[in-house]
A and B are shown apart, each in its own frame.
Chain A
Amino acid sequence: MRFSGLKILKEGLTGNKGWTNHWREPEPKQEYDILIIGGGGHGLSTAYYLAKNHGLKNIAVLEKGYLGGGNVGRNTTIVRANYFLPGNSEFYSHSLKLWEGLEHDLNYNVMHSQRGLINLFHSDGQRDAFARRGNAMINQGDDAILLDTEGVRDLLPYLDFEQVRFPIYGGLYHPRGGSARHDAVAWGYARGADTRGVDLIQNCEVTGIDISQGRVTGVQTNRGQISAKKVGIVVAGRSGQVAAMAGMRLPIESHVLQAFVTEGLKPCIDHVVSFGMGHFYISQSDKGGLVFGGDLDFYASYAQRGNLPMKEHVMEAGMTLMPMIGKARVLRSWGGIMDMTPDGSPIIDKTDIEGLYIDCGWCYGGFKAVPASGFCFAHLIATEKHHEFASGFRLDRFKTGYGLIDEEGTGSQHNLH
C-alpha cells in the first residue's frame, strides 16, 4: 500500500475502507541470512537499507515487544547536524541529508520539520566555542549562523534575556535543524523494510546467541531457535545484556533520561531551543504540547522512569529561561534507557565473533542518527567494510585510546557524559 494524494481523496470518498495493515505479521522461519535483534529506529533502518541498498532478501528483525516501543518512541525528536569532531561531523551530516529525502524515499510522512535549532550561549568563552563549532559545521557543508543577543531576540522574543545568572549573549542558529514525528520514523522504515521482503517479528525476545567455533550460527528466542549466517545487535539500552549472551562485556552503562510534555497550547515556540547551561531544551509538537527535557538522572537504571530531583531541576531551568511557560500544566513524563559509552559517541563495528555485528552506544542522541546508522550498519553487515562516514565508531578505541570521539571534551570516562 502506497500513500498518495489521489489515494487519500478516494478513501475519503469511499469510507476509508481500503486502508490495509502497514506490514505483515509473519511467523519466524527456521533460517535467515541476516537477523537484526531489536526493532527500534536503528534496527528497522538497518533492515531497510540491507534490502534497499544491498539487494539482500532473507532478513528478519526480532523485537521483544512491539515495533517502536523503545527509545525511538520515547525521545524528544531533535534532528540536527551540529557536531564538531571528525568522526561525528561527517556521519551526522550524512544523516541529516538522508532525513531531508526520507519522506520521498519511504513514501511516508515522518513530519520532518526543519524549523531551526538555536543553541544559546552566555559568556565570551562560550561564544568563541560556538563560533568554532559553527565554522566546523560550515566546513562540513552544513549550515550555521552565529547570532548576537538581538539576533536571538528576533527569533525568540519570549526568553528572559536579562537574567543575572545566565544572561543571553547570543546563540548558534542551525536553520536545517528541527524535529520529526518519532513513531512515524519507526513505522515508515518498518513498512519500507516489510515491502522489500523483511520479516518483522514482534513479541520475539532473543534469549541466547548461538556460537560455534567462533562463528555465530543463530539465536535462541521465546519463539524457538532461529538460524542465521549473520546477526546484528541493535538494542540500545539493552546492549549490555544482549552482548552478554555472546560472552561480551561492553563499554556501556545504561542510564535513564527523562522527558516531559505539557497540555496542548497555541503555537508559541517556533524553533527547537537548547539551553545547555541549564540542561534544558524545548520544542512544541504539532499537537501543541511543549516537549522538553534535560540531562540524565545520573545513575545506572533500566526503569524507564526517573526520579523527582531531575524533574525539579529541568522545570527550574525552564522557568529561568522562559518564565512564560510557568502556567502550562505538565501532562506526562517518562524515561528511556540510554546506552552510555565512556566518550559519549556510538559504536558501529564487528565483534570478535565471526558474523556478529553491533550497533550501540547512542547515548541520548540516537534519534537523529536513525537513517545514517542503519545506512552504515547495513553497509558493514553486507560488505564487511566500515562505511566511510562511520569509520570512527570502533569498539576498540577505548582499549587503545586511539580515535576517542569526546564531543563534550570532558574526558573518556563513564559518568562524564
Chain B
Amino acid sequence: MRIPCPICGDRDRREFYYVGDAQIINRPSPEASEDIWNDYLHNRDNPAGVTKDLWYHENGCNSWLVVTRSTTTHEVQHAELVTKLKGDGS
C-alpha cells in the first residue's frame, strides 16, 4: 500500500502513522454536549467501502494527511494536506 503524499509523492505505507477516521480533525467546541463529544471521540461510521482517514507522514515531511481510500480493496485514491483542507493555524 502506497500513499500519495502531496509533498513527497508516492510513499510506502510504513512511513505513515495511522490515526483513524478523518472526523477527528473536526473537534467540537468545549461547550458541546456529552453526546457530541462521545460521537467525536468514540463512535464511527466505519464504512465498508470508500472512507477518509487521517495519517501522519512521520518518516517523511511530518504532514498530516486526509487519505481517501477503500476499506474493501485497500485502493488508495487520494491524499490531501490537512492544512489545505482547514487552512493554516487551525
Contact = CB atoms under 8 A, between A and B. Distances in A.
A338 to B, nearest CB: 12
Contact of B19 (A254, A307, A415): A415
Nearest to B38: A399
Interface residues of A, number: 24
A302 B42 contact: no
Interface string A215-244: 000000000000000000000001011001
B88 to A, nearest CB: 25
A342 interface: yes
A245 B43 CA distance: 15
Interface string B1-36: 100000000001110001111000000000000110
Contacts of B45: 240, 244, 249
A238 B47 CA distance: 10
12 contacts: A240-B47, A249-B43, A250-B43, A250-B46, A251-B44, A254-B48, A299-B1, A299-B53, A300-B46, A307-B74, A309-B14, A399-B42
B51 interface: yes
A99 to B, nearest CB: 31
Given A254-B71, A307-B13, A399-B34, A299 B46 contact: no
Given A241-B48, A307-B13, A309-B13, A299 B42 contact: no
A395 to B, nearest CB: 10
B74 A240 contact: no
A406 to B, nearest CB: 13
B1 A307 contact: yes
Contacts of B21: 253, 300, 414
Given A253-B20, A300-B21, A307-B74, A342 B13 contact: no
Contacts of B90: none
Interface of B: 1, 12-14, 18-21, 34-35, 38-39, 41-48, 51, 53, 69, 71-74
Nearest to A298: B18
B37 to A, nearest CB: 8
B44 A253 contact: yes
Contacts of B47: 240
A32 interface: no
A399 to B, nearest CB: 4
Contacts of B14: 309
Given A251-B42, A307-B13, A309-B13, A414 B20 contact: yes
Nearest to B1: A307
Contacts of B42: 251, 342, 398-399, 414
Given A399-B34, A415-B20, A302 B48 contact: yes
Nearest to A238: B48
Q: Which of B19, B38, B39 has the most CB of A within 10 A?
A: B38
Given A309-B13, A309-B14, A398-B38, A302 B71 contact: yes
B54 to A, nearest CB: 10
A307 B16 CA distance: 14
A75 to B, nearest CB: 20
A303 interface: yes
A301 B13 contact: no
Contacts of B35: 399
Given A300-B20, A302-B71, A307-B1, A250 B38 contact: no
Nearest to A248: B43
